[in-house]
Amino acid sequence: MLQTQIALQMLLNAIARRPARPAATHVAAATTASRPPATKESKMPSEFDFLDKHYDKTDIPEVAAQSARERFGNYPVARTSTVIYGIDWETLVDSIIKAVDNYSYGAIFNTSAFAYLGQYNGAPQWNIVLTGLKYVNATIKVVGSTPTYTIEDYDNGTIVVNAQVSGNNPPMLGDIVHLQAAIGNYIGTVQLKN
């Protein structure tokens, strides 16, 4: 287990990250693990809003692939789009919260996820490693003015989630600001349907 954590930590250090967006407020993760209802009245941001954009409740790779493809419309400068699928939302969120709690309070939960504190631009940042996930990873290549998409499906994958730190004694989970696929068992290329 220690060798796996060291290897994953070395992998994390090698992964280039995007700059974190500043958060307007920090919210402790322990308040709720449920997905907020999607309504126009919902003004309070959740620390899981960013994660929600990288999640699809489906068990079908082609549906997750379409979600990954559609994300490029909102983020035209993005080169990759990762979407986690085949897991219940509450289970996914719960594993993140348990990983942070295990770091802050000692190993009190049995979970395949783990968290550690790092720094990004001089500020503390959570690095949360989630294992055993299904995900699709889409990449875009533009030739002339025509975009082409390649979407690959992975099983038993590792996803690295970066989040802001809220509080300091103990450090709590703040807003999730970045997500990146690390490794996984390659299943194959997913073809999008027109």
d(CA 133, CA 155): 6
- Of the pLDDT bands very low, low, confident and very high (cuts 50, 70, 90), residue 32 is very low
Q: pLDDT per residue over 115-124, tens digit each?
A: 999 999 989 9
Q: pLDDT per residue over 70-81, tens digit each?
A: 888 766 677 889
| Structural domains of the chain sorted by starting position, each given as residue range(s) with its CATH number in brackets | 47-189 (3.10.130)
What pLDDT shows up at residue 156? 97
DSSP secondary structure string for all residues of 116-152: EEEEETTEEEEEEEEEEEEEEEEEEEEETTEEEEEEE
What pLDDT shows up at residue 169? 84
What value does the mean pLDDT take over residues 131-142?
Answer: 93
Cα–Cα distances in angstroms (integers) from residue 119 to residues 4, 7, 22, 93, 127, in the given order: 21, 19, 14, 22, 9
pTM (2 d.p.): 0.75
Cβ count within 10 A of residue 185: 10
What pLDDT shows up at residue 75? 66
What percent of the chain clears pLDDT 70, i.e. is strictly above it?
Answer: 74
Helix, strand, coil percentages in the chain from 3-state DSSP, rounded to 5: 25, 40, 35
Q: Is 165 helix (H, G, I), strand (E, B) or coil?
A: strand
What percent of the chain clears pLDDT 90, i.e. is strictly above it?
Answer: 54
More confident residue, 134 or 14: 134
Instruction: Identify the weakest region by mean pLDDT among 71-80, 81-90, 164-173.
Output: 71-80
